[in-house]
Amino acid sequence: MQDKVFDLIIIGAGPAGLAAGSYAGRARLDTLIIEKEKDGGQIVITAEIDNYPGSIENESGPSLIERMAKQAEGFGAQKLYDTVTDVDLSGDIKIITCKKGVYKCRALIIATGAHPRPIGCPGEKELIGKGVSYCATCDGAFFEDMEIFVVGGGDTAVEEAIYLTRFGRSVTIIHRRDKLRAVQGIQDRAFKNDKVKFMWDSVVDELKGEGILESMVIKNTKTGEKTEIFADPEDGTFGVFVFIGFLPESALFEGKVAMQNGYIVTNEKMETDVKGVYAAGDVRITPLRQVVTAASDGAIAAMQAYHYLENL
């Protein structure tokens, strides 16, 4: 592997990386996708995805990604699982250092995506997996017949809250404003659902418990008043699922490509300020973060990389 130089390396096998892999492979670029954990990124923890154009009935994140991954593989894109620890973008040949090896390429697509934003309150970190979760499909079942709280007010928070009604005896959405941000169609479904309740103008101030979530302090954003909510003594605990946005996975590229607030700056060709380096998906500045936009970015980036390589 030492002297081999790929035409294109794509960091990340979410929808952006997989779409880029398909287009690059189809254009006969010698392409390597490097993924640190699992194909699909953020979308694979979603039980249902109904707004990806052309998604089949009962499409789940995993089912859609499975087809995307197969497709990229079919077009010849190679994939390996490793964690990138450093990138050198200073030369014509980019050097991608990973835990298990070093890889070189002429063009690079950064498709590293994002990770869930935590509340950032005391007690949160300690109680992850002990009542606090960012993954409804992973952990909803643990709270069957118990009280579940969902923090957030956007599409994801409301959709996941509706999903969680199949487990909890009640699902209460805690939102810092007095109006949800989610699109109207999703809001309507939540209002119609008897199990979904709302705590408006509220934020989680603190999460408490010894080895398991036992209570939480809620602060009213308008009055500043704090109230503590305790687990039902019969249950012993309750679930708090957090869906308040995402933070870009861009730390690796700080100082190497232009960024704003951690998001990578690109033009509409997905070009960063470094020649031969592109960014696609949630990691870049974009007005919309969806699977469809990530896939679109990936395709554009791959074709731009193709033209760049043709003209080298």
Partner 1 sequence: MLDLDRNNFEEEVLKAEGTVFVDYYGDGCVPCAALSPFVDEMAEKYGDKLKFTKLNTSKARRLAISQRVLGLPVMAIYQGGEKVEELVKDDCTHENIENMIKKYI
CA dist 51 → 55, 76, 113, 185 (Å): 7, 28, 19, 12
Choose the catalytic residue: 82, 135, 201, 205: 135
- Give the residue from 27, 10, 6 showing the smallest Cα distance to 303: 27
- Please state at what angle helix 184-192 crosses helix 155-164, rounded to 10 degrees: 30
Q: Which stretch binds partner 1 (CB under 8 A): 37-45, 171-179, 281-289, 301-309?
A: 37-45
From candidates 56, 93, 102, 138, binder to partner 1 by CB under 8 A: 138
48, 51, 56, 59 alpha-carbon torsion, rounded to 10°? -10
Q: Are 171 and 157 in contact (CB under 8 A)?
A: no
Considering only 103, 143, 163, 253, the residue that binds partner 1 (CB under 8 A) is 143
Q: How far is the CB of 128 from partner 1 (least distance, A)?
A: 6
The three-class DSSP label of residue 43 is: helix
Minimal distance, residue 93 CB to partner 1, in Å: 28
CB 114 within 8 A of CB 250: no
Any contact of residue 133 with partner 1 (CB under 8 A)? yes
Binder of partner 1 out of 49, 132, 151, 216 (CB under 8 A): 132
Q: How far is the CB of 141 from partner 1 (least distance, A)?
A: 6
Please say if 135 is a catalytic residue: yes
Work out which of 73, 76, 95, 130 binds partner 1, going by CB under 8 A. Answer: 130
Nearest CA among 58, 21, 59, 57 for reference residue 39: 21
Residues 144-183 that bind partner 1 (CB under 8 A): 144
What is the three-class DSSP state of 297?
helix
Minimum gap (Å) between residue 64 Cβ and partner 1: 12
**Any contact of residue 211 with partner 1 (CB under 8 A)?**
yes
Of 232-271, binders to partner 1 (CB under 8 A) are 237, 239
Exactly one of 128, 203, 229, 303 binds partner 1 (CB under 8 A); that residue is: 128
Among 93, 183, 212, 312, binds partner 1 (CB under 8 A): 212
Report if residue 62 touches partner 1, rule: CB under 8 A: yes
Q: Based on the shown chain and the rule CB under 8 A, indicate whether residue 61 belongs to the binding site for partner 1.
A: yes
Strand 114-116 versus strand 246-248 pairing type: antiparallel
Residue 79, strand partner residues: 33
Consecutive H or E run containing 103: strand 102-110
Token couple for 89: 């973008």
Write the CB contacts of 233 (distance below 8 Å, at least 6 apart in sequence): none
Amino acid at residue number 9: I
**138 flagged as catalytic:** yes
Q: By CB under 8 A, what part of segment 74-103 binds partner 1?
A: 83, 99
Does the footprint of partner 1 cover residue 21 (CB under 8 A)? Answer: no
The catalytic site residues sit at: 135, 138-139
Q: Applying CB under 8 A, which residues contact partner 1?
A: 37-40, 44-45, 47, 61-62, 83, 99, 128-133, 135, 137-139, 141-144, 211-213, 237, 239
